[in-house]
Amino acid sequence: MVIKINKIKNGYYLLAGVLAILFAVTHAWNGETTVLQALQVNEAAMDTAVIFKYVWHIITAENLVFGIIFIILSLQGEGAKARFAAWTITSLLSVRLLVILGITAVYDLSGLKDTFIDSITILIYIAVNLLGMKVKKLESGGQVTSRR
């Protein structure tokens, strides 16, 4: 699928979509090549390994769906439904970050430093989403401005 530049109505949503798809690919790859391999090396119980694997890939699938939604939103005009979808995804990402930080802090406070890259990535993703929600296309001149 080729996206024509003049069809893009919200570049931030396009960027958020591309980032989300990239995050889905890297999340799946990282899981299969490192994290999930450790379950086999450490001989975790099969049911534990299966549960961990599908939970890992639920996040991968969510990122992929978020990416597709944001790419579709980037091609649509600004409206209440688009903003609701963007707010919903941004809220889920915020809760995801709070769960990562909260669980890590409760069970291994020193492990918070290991969440730094993931946390920064999620915060950048959230920031791009918020910027996308502030963009408004003017009907008259077709220029893109920020909402006030």
Q: Is residue 145 part of a domain?
A: no
CA nearest neighbour of 73 among 97, 90, 96, 95: 90
Q: Is 141 inside a domain boundary?
A: no
pLDDT digits (tens, 9 = 90+) for 71-121: 999 998 778 888 899 999 999 999 999 999 999 999 999 989 999 998 999
Give the residue with greater pLDDT, 105 vs 136: 105
What's the predicted TM-score (pTM) here?
Answer: 0.78
In a domain, 142, yes or no: no
Residue 140 pLDDT > 50, yes or no? no
Instruction: Give domain status of residue 61, yes or no.
Output: yes
DSSP codes, 58-107? HHHHHHHHHHHHHHHHHHSPP-HHHHHHHHHHHHHHHHHHHHHHHHHHHH
Q: Would 143 be classed as within a structural domain?
A: no
For residue 14, name the pLDDT band (cuts at 50, 70, 90). very high
The structural domain count of the chain equals 1
- Find the domain containing 103 and state its range: 9-135
Q: What is the mean pLDDT of the chain?
A: 85
